[in-house]
Structure 1
Amino acid sequence: MEFVQQNWMWVTLAIISGSMLLWPLLKGGGSQALTPSQATRMMNRENAVVIDVRESGEWNTGHIAGARHIAMPLLQQKMAELEKFKNRPLIICCASGARSSAACSTLRKAGFEKVFNLAGGMTSWREAKLPVTTK
């Protein structure tokens, strides 16, 4: 108890940061996470659509072949373009998985049911030695 009293700021910071990390799990978060290999299987077997929500500069450095680019700030505005894919699985990716997780939540709220987050984003895709394109 003495430790907590003497280090109350650090304890508070630890509680807040831990809560922020656990929040998506506690609220039942809007997406299921897929590994790169699970994502490629879903793309091949279920004709999943990949939506890349990174900024244009990130997109231009390389992206998953066949992916559609809709930067996260434009997702709400471009929702009508995605309506035609409402019955297909959507795999959302970004650089590390954080923005895509938020995009998954946005899409679920808009009525998309088959929404999946690429766990680790393009970082994990590249680490898995899967191909990227700049075209």
Structure 2
Amino acid sequence: MNDVLHKLPEFASNHLALVGLFVAILLALAGTEVATLFRKWKGLTPAGLTQLINRDSPLMIDLSASADFEKAHVPGARNVAMSQFDPEHKDLAKAKDLPVVLIDKDGRTLSKPASRLIKAGFTKVFVLDGGTYAWQNAQLPTAKGKK
């Protein structure tokens, strides 16, 4: 181990591009983790969503494309097109005190809608990590069709 530490400066000086790439990746990972700590909404696993459904009856909004929603969705979720999503809408504004769970096909595009809900005054905002795919992979029941 001691020998490795003595050779490290020589390796670093001979491989500046690799060291720079390593530092960039390390900073990107650290930045992502810090951003996760300070965001106001929380991610849920499929098991966590199941517990929330059983405990609090949340409003579940599925922002998937209509065709994806019709193929499979979390039972009880309502489909809203991403372009139609408006946290200030009068029907949605009535649910500011309820837990609101955002879902999409794979969980990748929900940070902006979640942040919009927080800005609109919603206090209990959740996102299903991995989206409907994660729900299906956990072998939980899905619904099909428009409702």
2:60 aligned with 1:55: no
List runs of 5+ in structure 1 lacking aligned partners: none
List runs of 5+ in structure 2 lacking aligned partners: 1-11
Residues in 1 aligned to 2:125 and 2:23: alpha-carbon distance in whole angstroms:
35
2:30 aligned with 1:2: no
Aligned partner letter, 2:32: L
Residues in 2 aligned to 1:23 and 1:75: alpha-carbon distance in whole angstroms:
28
Q: Any conservation in 2 of the 1:94–1:121 contact (CA below 8 Å)?
A: yes
Residues in 2 aligned to 1:57 and 1:12: alpha-carbon distance in whole angstroms:
42
Identity of aligned residues (%): 28
Indicate how the Cα distance of structure 1 residues 65 and 20 shifts in structure 2: closer, same or farther if over 3 A, else same: same
2:40 aligned with 1:30: yes
Indicate how the Cα distance of structure 1 residues 85 and 6 shifts in structure 2: closer, same or farther if over 3 A, else same: closer
The residue correspondences of 1:86-105 to structure 2 (distance < 5 A) are: 86-105=96-115
The residue correspondences of 1:104-123 to structure 2 (distance < 5 A) are: 104-123=114-133
2:57 aligned with 1:41: no
Once structures 1 and 2 are overlaid, which stretch shifts more, 5-14 or 40-49?
Answer: 5-14
Q: Secondary structure at the match of 1:50?
A: strand
- TM-score after normalising by structure 2: 0.74
Q: Could you report, residue by residue, the CA deviation over 1:89-135 in whole angstroms, capped at 9, with x for unpaired residues?
A: 11111122222233211111111001111122111100111111113
Once structures 1 and 2 are overlaid, which stretch shifts more, 82-91 or 95-104?
Answer: 95-104
Structure whose alpha-carbon radius of gyration is higher: 2
- TM-score after normalising by structure 1: 0.80
Q: Secondary structure at the match of 1:99?
A: coil
Number of aligned positions between the proteins: 134
Q: Any conservation in 2 of the 1:65–1:132 contact (CA below 8 Å)?
A: yes
2:29 corresponds to:
18
Q: Secondary structure at the match of 2:101?
A: strand
